[in-house]
């Protein structure tokens, strides 16, 4: 190990040499950000149409959230769960209330919330449903994305997420997304939960048929199986409602939340459910040193208060129509299909125009940041503070990239 002159190398070179290569980022180096805009180290501005995979739903450095963070930094930031803090109880109460549930299990990352939800479901199965310990199964959907821990990739259908990472956690069954009959066939006496993204995000913003989630809800009730909705990316106003499940009037037994819950400032995730489910956890059975820390809890409370006002949901619904209308206008002009709800759009681009990554690079050169999901699919998910004019400008840039201008 030599002592490096870090000044001599660019931030990208330093990443290339010293950071694990588990991402393949666009060559844009953010130095500051505000609202829907990111400024790079050379002072170039980019319209952010990814919003950190929906973690920045309320905009970069949202003033209300930043004010909360500053105030909390001046009081107390971390005590662990060995003691109480004056922030965690109010946060849990407010979040549970927003979800129409009794209790909250606070964690940090999305994958941790998913892992936690799986543990709760297994414990519920063993203690309440009466499934013999070690025999539980959980049903998931093909092409899911719930994170990248060992247990979570154990039920992924993406070879890149799995290859070389075995052995995997047993106890999962995967069925086609949107196919209620396949789900019904997969349920048996030892099924404790069905885990779904209400709209599959990383798969390309796949919206299920209208009867799917209501049918899943009914099946779960019929078979005494927990319906777990992973709303980590789809929730918290992204699709025009507080939860994507709201589009179909469905209330799952368990919500998994993350990303935007931390206001774009801290990692904060949660499992939210009624007492007869989350009450299966006892001291020592699960935990996290940082989970529900006072800084995160204070920010989470502000995020919940902002969501309770409804303005971000309304914005997403209204501006989402504009985004979808404009994107659908490009069908036949380089775009093959547009999917999604609210300010969340998956766009399939004519493959002959280049890979999704190549299109993203061309858009970045024009000052618009979007992210490819698979092959030729792009995802538009701007911060919900974006304006109609900014949407129009981003889609104009996209149209010109598609025309090769």
Report, in angstroms and rounded to the nearest whole number, the Rg of the chain calculated over CA atoms.
21
Decide: 270 and 257 in contact? Cβ < 8 Å: yes
Shortest spacing between CB 358 and ligand PLP, in angstroms: 22
286 CB-near residues (< 8 Å, 6+ apart): 105, 116, 119, 120
Burial state string for 360-384 with b = 16 or more CB within 10 A and e = fewer than 16: bbbbbebbbbbbbbeebbbbbbbbb
Instruction: Return the number of the residue (258 or 320) whose C-beta is nearest ligand PLP.
Output: 258
Instruction: Return the number of the residue (230 or 390) whose C-beta is nearest ligand PLP.
Output: 230
Shortest spacing between CB 196 and ligand PLP, in angstroms: 10
Instruction: Return the number of the residue (262 or 334) whose C-beta is nearest ligand PLP.
Output: 262
Instruction: Return the number of the residue (131 or 260) whose C-beta is nearest ligand PLP.
Output: 260
Instruction: Return the number of the residue (143 or 301) whose C-beta is nearest ligand PLP.
Output: 143
300 CB-near residues (< 8 Å, 6+ apart): 91, 95, 106, 261, 262, 263, 268, 270
Shortest spacing between CB 52 and ligand PLP, in angstroms: 10
Shortest spacing between CB 307 and ligand PLP, in angstroms: 18
Residues recognised as catalytic: 145, 230, 259
Shortest spacing between CB 288 and ligand PLP, in angstroms: 13
Shortest spacing between CB 306 and ligand PLP, in angstroms: 20
Closest-CA residue to 44 (of 32, 61, 60): 32
The single residue listed with the structure tokens 């299909």 is 337
Decide: 338 and 232 in contact? Cβ < 8 Å: no
Instruction: Return the number of the residue (258 or 334) whose C-beta is nearest ligand PLP.
Output: 258
CA distance 266 to 101: 24
Binding site for ligand PLP (CB under 6 A): 53, 109-111, 114, 145-147, 197, 201-202, 230, 232-233, 258
**Which residue intervals of 254-355 are DSSP H helices?**
275-278, 294-309, 311-328
Shortest spacing between CB 111 and ligand PLP, in angstroms: 3
71 CB-near residues (< 8 Å, 6+ apart): 298
Other Cβ atoms less than 10 A from the Cβ of 160: the count is 8
86 CB-near residues (< 8 Å, 6+ apart): 294
Instruction: Return the number of the residue (116 or 233) whose C-beta is nearest ligand PLP.
Output: 233
Alpha carbons within 13 angstroms on the beta-carbon side of residue 234 total 28
Phi, psi at residue 258, to the nearest 5°?
-170, -145
């Amino acid at each position: 190990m030599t002592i490096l002159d870090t000044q001599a190398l660019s931030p990208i070179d330093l990443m290339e040499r010293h950071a694990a290569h588990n991402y393949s980022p666009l060559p844009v180096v953010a130095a500051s950000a505000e609202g829907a805009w990111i400024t790079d180290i050379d002072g170039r501005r980019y319209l952010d149409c990814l919003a950190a995979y929906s973690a920045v739903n309320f905009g970069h450095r949202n003033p209300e959230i930043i004010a909360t963070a500053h105030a909390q930094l001046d009081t107390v930031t971390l005590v662990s769960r060995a003691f109480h803090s004056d922030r965690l109880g109010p946060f849990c109460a407010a979040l549970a209330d927003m979800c129409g549930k009794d209790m909250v299990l606070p964690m940090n990352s999305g994958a941790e919330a998913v892992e936690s939800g799986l543990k709760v479901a297994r414990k519920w199965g063993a203690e309440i449903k009466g499934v013999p310990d070690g025999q539980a199964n959980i049903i998931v959907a093909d092409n899911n994305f719930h994170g990248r821990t060992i247990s979570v990739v154990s039920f992924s259908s993406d070879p890149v997420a799995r290859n070389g990472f075995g052995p995997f956690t047993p106890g999962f069954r995967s069925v086609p997304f949107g196919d209620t009959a396949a789900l019904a066939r997969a349920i048996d006496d030892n099924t404790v939960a069905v885990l779904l993204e209400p709209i599959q995000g990383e798969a390309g913003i796949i919206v299920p048929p209208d009867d799917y989630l209501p049918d899943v809800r009914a099946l779960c009730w019929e078979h005494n199986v927990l319906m777990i909705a992973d709303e980590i990316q789809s929730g918290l106003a992204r699709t025009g409602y507080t939860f994507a499940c709201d589009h179909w009037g469905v209330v799952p037994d368990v919500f998994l939340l993350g990303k935007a819950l931390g206001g774009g400032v801290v990692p904060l995730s949660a499992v939210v459910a009624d007492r007869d489910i989350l009450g299966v956890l006892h001291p020592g059975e699960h935990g996290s040193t940082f989970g529900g820390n006072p800084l995160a809890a204070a920010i989470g409370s502000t995020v919940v208060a902002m969501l309770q006002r409804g303005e971000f949901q309304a914005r997403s619904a209204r501006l989402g129509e504009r985004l979808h209308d404009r994107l659908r206008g490009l069908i036949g002009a380089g775009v093959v299909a547009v999917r999604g709800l609210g300010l969340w759009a998956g766009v399939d681009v004519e493959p002959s125009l280049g890979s999704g990554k190549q299109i993203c690079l061309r858009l970045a050169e024009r000052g618009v940041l979007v992210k490819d999901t698979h092959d030729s699919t792009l995802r538009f998910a701007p911060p919900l503070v974006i304006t109609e004019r900014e949407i129009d400008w981003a889609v104009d840039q996209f149209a010109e990239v598609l025309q090769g201008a």
